[in-house]
Amino acid sequence: MTFVPQVKQVPQLRADDNLFCSYTRMSTRTFDYIKEEIENECYHKTTNFKIPISVEERLIITLRYLATGLAFRQIALIFRISKTAVSSIVIEICKAIWKILKEKHMATPTMADFEKIVQEFYENWNFPNCVGSIDGKHIRIKCPKKSGSMFFSYKQFFSIVLMALADTNYKFIMIDVGSYGKDSDGECVSSGYWKFGGTLDVR
């Protein structure tokens, strides 16, 4: 039987661990952890006029969007809610995840953190003085109004750049999102550094 999700069919999705992982790209254990962490931040009160979509359901919708990159209108059809609701849910949940979990899972590295990473790169890969492995990804966007060619990348589409720094365990330790698509790798790295006000403890 093909599973056709609706907002109120989340229990059916959770009943099959493999289906859940395939659908959200994470285990139910990780999902429950995130839900519990952001629950207070994203709680909506029930009123006489409206029963809100639960945090669990909103997180499912957000993860499906992030896992597939489908347009909001397509996500809306899948879950049988409005496109406006999908947009609002994705923005709210993503902001809550970053606000609540950033310092726990991606705090700005200290000098001690960088020294440990340098040691691990040398021991595991024989790379001296390496504070991380960095790469970028162009995220396709619609051209913002009056932006000219600022977002037009060498890939011949409009984009913003996601830069990520990873350690030897393939774990992201820092990310920067939002550089112009036209920027070179060097410009993206430089602008990402200065977004921290030049305060990164690297010397």
CB of 181 closer than 8 Å to CB of 151: yes
15-25 average pLDDT score: 89
| Gap between the Cα atoms of 203 and 71, Å rounded | 43
| Gap between the Cα atoms of 161 and 137, Å rounded | 6
pLDDT tens sequence across 63-119: 999 999 899 999 999 898 999 999 999 999 999 999 999 999 988 888 999 999 999
CB of 171 closer than 8 Å to CB of 105: no
pLDDT score of 2 more than 60: no
Percent of the residues in the chain that have a pLDDT greater than 70, as a whole number: 89
CA triplet 76, 55, 30: central angle to 5 degrees?
100
| H helix runs in 15-173, sequence order | 17-24, 28-42, 55-68, 72-79, 83-105, 111-125
- Number of CB atoms found within 10 A of residue 172's CB: 12
pLDDT tens sequence across 141-158: 888 888 888 999 989 999
Separation in Å, CA 116 to CA 4, 26, 102, 111, 123: 47, 28, 20, 9, 11
Domain boundaries, the chain: 7-104, 106-194
Residues 6+ apart with CB under 8 A from 171: none
* Residue whose entry in the numeric block shows the structure tokens 């977002």: 151
